[in-house]
Amino acid sequence: MPITVKVYPDPILHGMTWDRFYRFSNSKTNRVKSTKCIQEQSGLVELVGFGFGMYLKVSEKDGAICFESQRFFLQCVGL
């Protein structure tokens, strides 16, 4: 399936937003948007929205950067 990925800085979260567009054969497009940023206590995290996110482990495999989710979290009202 054809995929388009746009990566650009997010000045509010101080990270990089990954905007992915998955184009299915039935002409529907699914958009997935998330921002990867570094948190002082947690390291690299990926924020999906509505307080939902995941802690990431970064590695290299065959010359490619790999992001592996370690745990998920939900932030509510600063908690």
Residues near 25 by beta carbon (within 8 Å), at least 6 away in sequence = 1
Q: Is residue 54, in this structure, part of any structural domain at all?
A: yes
Instruction: Note the pLDDT tens digit of each residue in 27-41.
Output: 889 999 999 999 888
Per-residue burial over 8-33, b if 16 or more Cβ lie within 10 Å, else e, is eeeeeeebebbeeeeeeeeeeeeeee
pLDDT digits (tens, 9 = 90+) for 47-68: 998 889 999 999 999 999 999 9
Asked if pLDDT for residue 79 goes beyond 80, the answer is: no
Domain tally for the chain?
Answer: 1
Does residue 79 belong to any structural domain of this protein? no
Quickly tell me which residue has 């290299």 as its tokens.
60
Range of the domain at 34: 3-74
User: One-letter amino acid identity for 62?
Assistant: D
